[in-house]
């Protein structure tokens, strides 16, 4: 296998094995509508084998950040349709990452709607809102009826995205957001069918993934996980507990025949990551860029050593729209400017030069 060789992830036929990571950029227009700027950003990067959008909220109550795009309304779907068309005009593939913030939000961000989490425990620290920084609020512990409704919201969002022209969906179960919150025994202290044992804590995520797969076809559904990420107060510091939890999740979704499992972990060759890969039994794409950007050499190694079917790349592709060409030709790279990662406008978003 070579980094620049084709690969199939379910029904997604990639020209190369460089996958654009879902990168929070917060450039949506009013009401979470993606505009022409977002369409240009993704179209510029269409030579990557697959593009994954930034986390896209499934309902207004699920929004985590000002400027985040959504996929709840017709106006949002129309905006995303223009994004998908722009990528397809460049012969690219694009999937939408569906995301529910859970407790990683504030009423000044999510339209004042109820903030749901597995348990009524707030994140320590402050959240930035349009009106300044405030302590994270204590969320409402979701009832089983709430959980069923949130599953339905993911299904409706997935259907809307596919109808807008997207090639597939990635379910966000990582980085401290709602599905990840259910997985951790520190953020999930429930004692019902969705808490307690590893199998129960994995239940909600498995239900979301299964429902989305049934709605749009499993062969165009991916899942992103980040075991041991320890972010946003979602702690997974007990190695055995973490392993059992993620084994339960992967065992529950493996029979579905999903397009791929995306794993974010700094040690892709670790026994945990490779155990999960074996249990999944399908295509696995890896992202090792925990604290530093993934390099060309690392990307080649992950594929050539048989650790992954494709490599998920974030900052290098953010700063180099033509990264595949640059890596193939061993050309000099643009450096990403962290000061422009988030916010409005084209600077640091669509103005990085190509060769």
For residue range 55-80, what is the model confidence (pLDDT) as tens digits? 999 999 999 999 999 999 999 999 99
Separation between Cα atoms, residue 75 and residue 258, nearest integer Å: 29
Q: Give the tokens for residue 284.
A: 């696995």
pLDDT band at 343 (very low <50, low <70, confident <90, very high): confident
Q: How many CB atoms within 10 Å of residue 59?
A: 21
State residue 1's pLDDT score: 58
For CA atoms 217, 21, 56, 78, the dihedral sign is negative
The reported pTM is 0.97
- Is 116 an annotated catalytic residue? no
301: its two tokens? 């190694």
Give me the mean pLDDT over the 321-327 stretch. 98
Cβ contacts of 188-192, under 8 Å, gap ≥ 24: 188/118, 188/119, 189/118, 189/119, 189/121, 190/118, 190/119, 190/141, 192/144
Say if residue 287's pLDDT is above 70: yes
Q: Average of pLDDT values for 169-181?
A: 98
Express as a percent the part of the chain with pLDDT over 70: 100
Query: Which entry of 42, 65, 136, 177 is annotated as an active-site residue?
Result: 177
Mean pLDDT value of segment 96-109? 98
Is there a contact between 91 and 46 (Cβ–Cβ < 8 Å)?
A: yes
């Amino acid at each position: 296998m070579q980094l620049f060789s084709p690969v199939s992830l379910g029904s997604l036929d990639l020209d190369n094995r460089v996958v654009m990571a879902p990168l929070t950029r917060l450039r949506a227009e009013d009401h979470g509508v993606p505009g022409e700027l977002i369409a240009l950003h993704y179209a510029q990067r269409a030579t990557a084998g697959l593009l994954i959008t930034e986390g896209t909220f499934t309902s207004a109550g699920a929004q985590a950040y000002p400027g985040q795009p959504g996929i709840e309304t017709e106006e949002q779907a129309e905006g995303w349709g223009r994004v998908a068309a722009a990528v397809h005009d460049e012969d690219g593939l694009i999937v939408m990452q569906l995301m529910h913030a859970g407790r990683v939000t504030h009423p000044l961000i999510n339209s004042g709607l109820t903030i749901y989490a597995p348990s009524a425990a707030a994140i320590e620290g402050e959240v930035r809102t349009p009106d300044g920084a405030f302590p994270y609020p204590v969320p409402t512990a979701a009832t089983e009826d709430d959980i069923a409704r949130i599953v339905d919201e993911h299904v409706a969002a997935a259907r809307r995205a596919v109808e807008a022209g997207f090639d597939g969906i990635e379910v966000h179960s990582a980085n401290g957001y709602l599905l990840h919150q259910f997985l951790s025994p520190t953020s999930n202290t429930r004692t019902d069918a969705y808490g307690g044992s590893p199998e129960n804590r994995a239940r909600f995520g498995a239900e979301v993934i299964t429902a989305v797969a049934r709605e749009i076809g499993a062969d165009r559904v991916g899942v992103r996980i980040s075991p041991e990420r320890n972010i946003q107060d979602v702690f997974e510091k007990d190695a055995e507990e973490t392993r059992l939890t993620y084994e339960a999740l992967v065992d529950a979704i493996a029979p579905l025949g999903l397009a791929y499992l995306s794993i974010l972990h700094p040690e892709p060759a670790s026994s945990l990551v490779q155990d999960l890969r074996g249990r999944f039994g399908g295509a696995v794409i890896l992202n090792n860029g925990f604290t530093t950007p993934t390099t060309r050499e690392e990307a080649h190694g992950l594929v050539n050593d048989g650790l992954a079917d494709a490599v998920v790349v974030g900052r290098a592709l953010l700063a180099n729209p033509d990264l595949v060409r640059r890596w193939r030709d061993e050309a000099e790279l643009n450096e990403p400017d962290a000061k422009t990662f988030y916010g409005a406008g084209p600077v640091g978003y669509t103005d990085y030069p190509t060769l």
